[in-house]
Structure 1
Amino acid sequence: MAFALPVWIAVQDELLGHGADGESPNCFDSFDDETLFEMFHLTRTCVAFVADTVRLHMRKRRTNLSVEDMVMVTLDYYAQGLSSAAVQNRVSLSLAESFGAICAVTEVIADMADRFISFPETLDARASVATDVEKFCGIPKVLGVLAPGHFRVRTSTSEKGSYKNFLNSLGYTSVQTQIICDCEGNILSAAGCWAGSTSEMKIWESSAKGKEMEEGVNGSYWLIGGEGYCLSKAVLSPVVHPTSVKEIRFNQAHEKILDIMRTTLASMMSRFRCLMQLGFAEESSLDKKGNIIKACCVLHNIAKKFSVPLPPESGEVEPLHLVMQYQGEAGESNLEALKARHELIDSSFSEERK
């Protein structure tokens, strides 16, 4: 569940409560449903909800610009990766105003993350998510899938220090956000923004969610992590060199649930083409890049809530790889975690359980 039903109802009530003096998102009415979806990769109902929600939060900001125009140019940028001529001809904003509008609306949507991106915090919520994961792949006591989402950026090759910081192990320059999703592809957490060369373990160990999970705040649950993560109390990595049928079966189940993250990130890039190339990046601009990524995560969850289909492929989507930096069991020095994984494999993947 991307966000709890009470949260959804509260948002709907809040919008309805302010609807009397609110404006209808009629600037989108100049497009028919098919054209609107082609342009924004969202349905009319979903676009209206996003526009209403942004309008409600923009009331707290001073702007002489039409909120509808601001939302339109922002959704256009997210979907197309640039400002299209069709939208620029429709709105009454200069290029400078459009850039400012994208920054402002992105900040508003990113600030809504605590309402639309929800990690299971209660006992019942955690049990429900873990049950869904076990039904999906057979691995018990799992709250979600953990991975770094890498998003391409440009950097100046003349600035060797900066270029090296953004160059990831896959051979291209990127920024990355630590993302957790459930087995249905809903984003449960999207935190921070780091240069592409930063290891996923460094990000995990320094993140608030990492410290919280490793300290057992959420109970004795795991997150599924690829081989770029070290097996720990909270991160369940695959067996690097399986030697038995049950270990092979566990790895197959692990790969099945891990593939949900690949699909989720690929889906986000397909819907929000801006994530395919976030432009030039500097260490000082990481917060701005992180806001765009977080805003797209928020809209991803909202789109799933409205059952919005993915757009037809308009080009080859960037293949997603989870970086492998830990090779062999050398990184798995936590004997307690090794024992816990061994017991999990014995109890859930032995031949007797087949």
Structure 2
Amino acid sequence: MKDIVKFPAFKVDKHTVNAKRIKSLLLRLALKENTAYGERRIYIQLPEESDHCNHKTPGRKRPRRSRKLKDNTKTECVPCLDSDLNDSQFLNTFRVTKSLYQFLVGEWQKEVVEKMVEAGVPVAELEQFEQHVLAALYYLGSAENIASASSRFKIKTIDFMDSILKFSDFLIRQQEKYLTLPTLEERITIAEVIKHDSGFPGVFGAMDAALVQMQTPLSNEEQDYCYNNTPSGSKCAFVLQFIVDHRLHFRDIHLDAPTTGTRIQVFQESGAWFHLQSLTSSETHIVAPAVYPLAPAIMTPHMTEVLSYQEALFNENHREAHKLAVNAMTIFKSRFKRMQKLDRHVDNNRKFVKAACILHNIALMHEDETDGRSSFFTTAGRQGGAHSSQGGANINGRGASSSGGTPVSAKGGGGSCRVSVTHHPPPLPLSSAPTLLLCSCHAPPPLPPSTSTVGCDSCPNFVLQCCSKFWCCILT
């Protein structure tokens, strides 16, 4: 151990004899005048391993044991750029097909090249967009936190988030191409398909709203996006209003905060409100729940206690047509699991929701063209029923009843029923007696005295099943 007093103010800059002599004289003068301030330093020299004798040295620490992964952790499809995943593994990991992934990379590079040519910049080696696209697809398609997801790609968290934001901005720029309201000719074509499927004429889309849950935001934004206060904490979400067509494509979306009010008030703040007001009854219309206002271009079901046969048939056809909205949200949240629970950054989340809606349309269009039908329906569609109650068509806590004031539950009318989705369900076979098909989760409507109601487990007239049992109401 050494006990030394040092004077840092008189440190020798150059190790020469004259410099040391001058600093020594200055230090002595300062000591005589009591103007020198020193520092006491104690140096302890620890023994080396060779100095130990006649006793055992402590051994090294044991290596850490590898943590056992949970049973629900998927390890067979690690999202690494060097990994060679087959088509099924790629779809389960990144939630899109390989061909769609290559299409997105090509479209992004094409957009960058066009901008460089317009600006007169020589097109040199382009940035590799493969990693950006893969990172964004994995983040949107998984519920994994961003720190863990970025470690899988072996990049920093800030770079990982930057890649997702760049890809989201690219998708949002494609909104005019992939997410627009249909023209008159498109509305007529869509109405023919929906009439063939559900029996409801003149319908070009189904409208509803759903909650997109997110973590509690920072600062004062919590007050705007909180829709339910519980002892365990606040529940926050976006209100996503959407219109879908017969192919489950989003034709219009509107994001708002739950504090805006009921679904009617959210609807009045959207662009679809002004568009639908310009349509006349001679043209096509959309179907919507009873919480929305009845208008020439908006068809809502009858809500009276006693329904006539025509009103009951109208409600049944309306329900069949409106299943498009429930099925679209089921597929949307099944494909993009991030939409079941977003992070706490509101501005980024707003971009992610819009980008996911556009990517949903691109995926359905591309998969229909290449595979004849959506490949995602065959792999992930069976998981969709579990999400219908989470992202169903009703808003919990901020919704409205037919009067527009009381809240409605987020659980759909079908409860925990499973939803079997097809693009074009077969039509009802023609018979001499009309037939009504209802799920057993719903009470059968009032029918004329000459009607016999039979509960059965299967029926040849079945079109779209929402649970294992349903009411088969045969009108005799």
Quote the residue 1:30 is aligned against.
Answer: 84
Quote the residue 2:247 is aligned against.
Answer: 184
- What is the alpha-carbon distance in structure 1 between the residues aligned to residue 281 and residue 207 of structure 2? 15
TM-score normalized with structure 2 length? 0.56
- What is the alpha-carbon distance in structure 1 between the residues aligned to residue 307 and residue 403 of structure 2? 13
Kindly state the Cα deviation for residue 101 of structure 1 after the two structures are TM-superposed: 0.8
Quote the residue 2:265 is aligned against.
Answer: 202
> In the alignment, is residue 246 of structure 1 matched against residue 310 of structure 2?
yes
TM-score normalized with structure 1 length? 0.74
> In the alignment, is residue 124 of structure 1 matched against residue 185 of structure 2?
yes
Partner amino acid for 1:304? L
Q: For 1:40-55, what aligned pairs fall within 5 Å after superposition?
A: 40-55=94-109
Tell me the C-alpha RMSD between the 2 structures. Answer: 3.5
Kindly state the Cα deviation for residue 97 of structure 1 after the two structures are TM-superposed: 0.6
1:317 counterpart (387, 393, 400):
387
- What is the alpha-carbon distance in structure 1 between the residues aligned to residue 148 and residue 105 of structure 2? 19
CA 1:83 to 1:47, structure 2 compared with 1: closer, same or farther past 3 Å?
A: farther
> In the alignment, is residue 149 of structure 1 matched against residue 210 of structure 2?
yes
Quote the residue 1:5 is aligned against.
Answer: none
- What is the alpha-carbon distance in structure 1 between the residues aligned to residue 283 and residue 136 of structure 2? 41
Higher helix share: 1
- What is the alpha-carbon distance in structure 2 between the residues aligned to residue 315 and residue 157 of structure 1? 32
Quote the residue 2:360 is aligned against.
Answer: 300
> In the alignment, is residue 39 of structure 1 matched against residue 93 of structure 2?
yes
CA deviations 1:198-243 (Å, max 9, x no partner) are 3222222222221021122896321111122111232211111152
Quote the residue 2:331 is aligned against.
Answer: 267
Quote the residue 2:174 is aligned against.
Answer: 112
Kindly state the Cα deviation for residue 186 of structure 1 after the two structures are TM-superposed: 1.8
1:167 counterpart (226, 231, 240):
226
2:277 counterpart (200, 214, 220):
214
Q: Which moved more, 1:75-84 or 1:86-95?
A: 86-95
- What is the alpha-carbon distance in structure 2 between the residues aligned to residue 151 and residue 85 of structure 1? 22
- Contact 2:329–2:388 (Cα < 8 Å) also in 1: no
Kindly state the Cα deviation for residue 141 of structure 1 after the two structures are TM-superposed: 1.8
CA deviations 1:64-117 (Å, max 9, x no partner) are 863111111000001113368997466463211111110111111122121112
- Contact 1:149–1:178 (Cα < 8 Å) also in 2: yes
CA 1:141 to 1:168, structure 2 compared with 1: closer, same or farther past 3 Å?
A: farther
Q: Which moved more, 1:259-268 or 1:110-119?
A: 110-119
- Contact 1:58–1:108 (Cα < 8 Å) also in 2: no
Q: Which moved more, 1:239-248 or 1:148-157?
A: 148-157
Partner amino acid for 2:332? M
Structure 1, gaps ≥5 residues long? 1-25, 332-348
Partner amino acid for 1:298? I
State the SS of the aligned residue for 1:326: coil
> In the alignment, is residue 327 of structure 1 matched against residue 402 of structure 2?
yes
CA deviations 1:164-196 (Å, max 9, x no partner) are 532347994210222110123122222x32112
State the SS of the aligned residue for 2:387: coil
Partner amino acid for 1:292? F
- What is the alpha-carbon distance in structure 2 between the residues aligned to residue 329 and residue 73 of structure 1? 42
Q: Which moved more, 1:90-99 or 1:110-119?
A: 90-99
- What is the alpha-carbon distance in structure 1 between the residues aligned to residue 190 and residue 87 of structure 2? 35
Partner amino acid for 2:265? K
Larger radius of gyration between Structure 1 and Structure 2: 2
Higher strand share: 2
Q: Which moved more, 1:55-64 or 1:207-216?
A: 55-64
Partner amino acid for 2:331? S
- What is the alpha-carbon distance in structure 1 between the residues aligned to residue 405 and residue 257 of structure 2? 26
CA deviations 1:261-291 (Å, max 9, x no partner) are 1111011111101100111155xx2xx3332
- Contact 2:96–2:363 (Cα < 8 Å) also in 1: yes
CA 1:51 to 1:44, structure 2 compared with 1: closer, same or farther past 3 Å?
A: same
State the SS of the aligned residue for 2:209: strand
Kindly state the Cα deviation for residue 129 of structure 1 after the two structures are TM-superposed: 1.0
Quote the residue 1:276 is aligned against.
Answer: 340
- Contact 1:134–1:140 (Cα < 8 Å) also in 2: yes
State the SS of the aligned residue for 1:30: coil
Q: State the identity as a percent.
A: 17
- What is the alpha-carbon distance in structure 2 between the residues aligned to residue 169 and residue 86 of structure 1? 29
> In the alignment, is residue 234 of structure 1 matched against residue 234 of structure 2?
no
State the SS of the aligned residue for 2:201: coil
CA 1:264 to 1:32, structure 2 compared with 1: closer, same or farther past 3 Å?
A: same
Partner amino acid for 1:322? N
Quote the residue 1:289 is aligned against.
Answer: 349
CA 1:330 to 1:86, structure 2 compared with 1: closer, same or farther past 3 Å?
A: closer
CA deviations 1:109-150 (Å, max 9, x no partner) are 1221211123221x3222111111211222222210111232
Structure 2, gaps ≥5 residues long? 1-79, 368-373, 407-435, 437-447, 449-474
State the SS of the aligned residue for 1:220: coil
Partner amino acid for 1:308? S
- What is the alpha-carbon distance in structure 2 between the residues aligned to residue 98 and residue 164 of structure 1? 29
- Contact 1:136–1:183 (Cα < 8 Å) also in 2: no
Q: Which moved more, 1:230-239 or 1:100-109?
A: 230-239
